[in-house]
Amino acid sequence: MAVADTAVGAKPARAAMGAAVVPLLGLMVFINYVDRGNFGTAAPLIKDELHLSAGRIGVLTSAFFWSYTPCQLLAGWLTERFSPYRVLAAGLALWALATAASGLVTGFAALLVLRVVLGLGESAAFPCSSKLIGQHLPPHQLGAANSIILVGTSLGPAFGVFAGGLIMSRVGWRPSFIMFGLASLLWLGPWLMATRASRVAADAARAADPLAPSFLEIIGRREAWGAGLGHFALNYAFYFVVSWLPLYLVKARGFSMAHMGVLSGEIYLVYAASLIVLGWANDRLIAAGRPVELVRKGFIATGFLIVAASFMVTSMAGPTIAIAALFVAGFGFGFIGPSNYALGQTLAGPHAAGKWMGFQNGVGNVAGIVCPLITGWIVDKTGSFSSAFVVAAGMATVGILCWCVIVRRVEPLVWKAA
């Protein structure tokens, strides 16, 4: 996807980006979500083998975010200070090895440590990818590019629960972790070859971007908090599904591991299809002259409403309608994802995209810490997932307020350095 923005005005031309970069970023996010989602798929087996309560499963799920969330700021700084190409490669290598090692441990404490290491490695993913596409692509191409990248957030869990569920049902969860972790390392070869010239150019200009704002300046903007809290609302709803859907289907609805894998995979495929179609529709409407703010906010509000309504139906309905509602929720998430990132990248501008997304994703992923703990506590106390679905639905409605009220205008912010 080689792009050079030569729009009228004083804006400098955007540097060209290799055609393979965006697809490889999408593949990287796919691997990211396969590796982080392995635990959710294996949760029923790990729970039984290690004799863990739902609360302890929640702690292990949450532990990933103990490092992933605060290290978003570190990753955002590294993308501005060093080459995002190298930072991303190092992060993937770390999380792949942590995934493989998780299949070798025998106790709760060791698994807890490796979940923290996994979060540290995966924290590089979105600040690096947002820096690269925010720096190289114009606003009317951000929806499609983010869709390609975000497809990994749907196909990753789909492949993880489908293939992982089948593998685990036959050979157990430990070989699955080892296989997926070692296979993840294969991404490094194509990435290093496809970005060789870009890495050399980035290394030649290693000094931090003089026009990039500080984190303090970003934190001082109302729009940054609206974006971060809106991202939190999205992540709470999405991580609720990613982390608890397998356990919900097996323990609450009585599906086998194999059937759970197929059903979960189909829900994620609906999400993937909606991401591609709706991300493309986002950009086409903007390219046709529709206001960026109206399009992005309209899509994101519609998606949150669909997700909230679907979760409420799931909390009250019988098995057949509840499963159908989860498919509708998968469709609703496709409205939100591209706009969630494109709005942040538009507000930040090319000089601040890495740091901005480090902050936005950092605030957003606090949800990864609190959602598993809250859900595990609710399930232990009530013996049911119904109230947990209601809480997740309420969080989705909060997302509308964050993106449509706290974020007042959608246009590139002016930073002091500029």
Is residue 25 predicted with pLDDT exceeding 60? yes
Helices in 288-405 by DSSP H: which ranges?
Answer: 292-316, 319-348, 353-364, 366-382, 386-401
> Residue 298 — very low, low, confident or very high, per pLDDT cuts 50/70/90?
very high
Tens of pLDDT along 82-111? 778 889 999 999 999 999 998 888 888 888
In this prediction, residues 170-192 reach a mean pLDDT of 89
Q: What is the pLDDT of residue 2?
A: 42
Task: Give the residue among 343, 114, 76 at the shortest CA–CA distance from 234.
Answer: 343
Task: Give the residue among 204, 208, 191 at the shortest CA–CA distance from 88.
Answer: 191
Is residue 11 predicted with pLDDT exceeding 70? no
Tens of pLDDT along 360-406? 988 998 888 888 889 888 988 888 899 999 999 999 999 999 999 99
Judge contact between 208 and 392, C-beta under 8 A.
no
In this prediction, residues 32-41 reach a mean pLDDT of 80
Higher pLDDT, 109 or 9: 109
Helices in 69-107 by DSSP H: which ranges?
Answer: 71-81, 84-102
Q: What is the pLDDT of residue 171?
A: 82
Higher pLDDT, 72 or 61: 72
Is residue 418 predicted with pLDDT exceeding 70? no
pTM over 0.95: no
Task: Give the residue among 296, 297, 300, 308 at the shortest CA–CA distance from 396.
Answer: 308
Is residue 341 predicted with pLDDT exceeding 90? no
69/64 Cα distance (integer angstroms): 9
Tens of pLDDT along 224-263? 999 999 999 999 999 898 778 878 888 888 787 677 777 8
> Residue 205 — very low, low, confident or very high, per pLDDT cuts 50/70/90?
low
- The mean of the pLDDT values for the chain is 83
Q: What is the pLDDT of residue 307?
A: 96
Q: What is the pLDDT of residue 3?
A: 41
Report, at the CATH architecture level, how domain 21-406 is classified.
Up-down Bundle (1.20)
